[in-house]
Amino acid sequence: MNAFRASLIPFWRNRVARLGTIILCLFILMAIVAPWISPYSPQDSNFSEMLSPTLAHPLGTTQDGHDVLSQLIYGTRVSLLVGFVAGLGTTLLSLLIGLLAGYMPGVVDEVLSYVTNVFLVLPALPLMIVLAAYAPVKGEYLIVIVIIVTSWSWGARVLRAQVTTLRTRDYVVAARFSGDGVMRIMFKEIFPNMMSLVAASFLGAAISAILGEAGLEFLGLGDPNINSWGTMLYWAQNSGAMLQGQWAWLAAPGLCIALLGTALVLMNFAVDELANPRLRRN
């Protein structure tokens, strides 16, 4: 628990990162207390359609008569969850591949590095679209998988480079000579020494996961019946919210995605400073 607390301190000490942490916490809070702060149920479609913002509906209503504000508040849940899970999955996969490739020079490294390079070259969004289009079942699980498959490579390359410099350090050599197994050395000796790099690649992966999720949902490749920020934009676009003057419906979900993304970027400043002291301002 102490180590966990200690790892959170940089996010608070750096003033820029603190702002990001606060925004992220507000979103998490919003996702948790959604049933209590949301004015209506997000499924409730008994209101007039395409209402402009009023006191009763601060962000207006949709083409089916849903309350936009309620959808926005509940949408936090799916957007946060998908972003978090996809970001975490991406990081775990890059960590696994990076550790293996970095610690095992020779055939394992050559093969894994080669696969990494192939995926680095493949353009992410078109690949995501093509994969999602061929898949027989659409939905949030598919989005998570597609994001993980298309975005692990960058992290894997960075982490591999770090491992190759760590594996010849004295304490790693000592551990090897005292008979520790490969897994133990990788996860007990090497992994703790690249925590800041792993944290940075998690934040980066989460940002691109949240943006990727929004993009795929906006293209209609998610489950349009699920309530998230991306699908809200999909419906706003496809039901002519623009031509009906529904600016709040268009603006609000995107603003939330932008704020969440910015919060994570700001938190990354703290990690950057840990990893690269030259960026620290005196």
Partner 1 sequence: MRHFLRRLIILLLTLWTTVTINFLIPRLMPGNPAEAMLAKFHGKGPMSPQALHSIEVMLGISSEGLLKQYSQYWVNVFHFNFGVSYTYFPYSVRHMIAQTLPWTLVLVGVTTVISFVVGTLLGILSAWRQGKIFSDMAITSLFTFTSSFPYFWFALLCAFFLSYVLNWFPLSGGNAGNMTPSLNFNFLASAAYHSILPALTILVSSIGGWQLGMRNNMLTALSEDYVTLAKARGLSEMRIALTYAARNAILPNMTGFAMSLGFIVGGSVLTELVFGYPGMGNLLYVAVQNEDFPLMQGIFLIIVICVVVANLAADIVNVFIDPRVRRAGE
CB of residue 105 to partner 1, shortest distance in Å: 16
Cα 112 to Cα 102, 176, 201, distances in angstroms = 9, 23, 18
Buried b (16+ CB within 10 A) or exposed e, 104-125: beeeebeebbeebeebeeeebe
Contact 161, 102 (CB under 8 A): yes
105 binds partner 1 (CB under 8 A): no
Q: Which of 34, 92, 104, 131 binds partner 1 (CB under 8 A)?
A: 131
CB of residue 38 to partner 1, shortest distance in Å: 22
Query: Residue 91 or 153: which CB sits closer to partner 1?
Result: 153
Cα 163 to Cα 90, 117, 137, 177, 182, distances in angstroms = 18, 17, 38, 18, 13
Three-class SS state of 67 = strand
Query: Residue 88 or 259: which CB sits closer to partner 1?
Result: 259
22 binds partner 1 (CB under 8 A): no
Helix 247-275 / helix 229-238 crossing angle, nearest 10 deg: 140
CB of residue 11 to partner 1, shortest distance in Å: 16
Bridge partners, 67 (sequence order) = 61
114 binds partner 1 (CB under 8 A): yes
Tokens found for residue 177:
């000579």
Q: Which of 142, 215, 227, 274 binds partner 1 (CB under 8 A)?
A: 215
Query: Residue 81 or 122: which CB sits closer to partner 1?
Result: 122
Binding positions for partner 1, rule: CB under 8 A: 114, 117-118, 121-123, 125-127, 129-136, 207, 211, 214-215, 218-221, 233, 236-237, 242-243, 245, 247, 250-251, 253-255, 257-258, 261-262, 264-266, 276, 278-279, 281
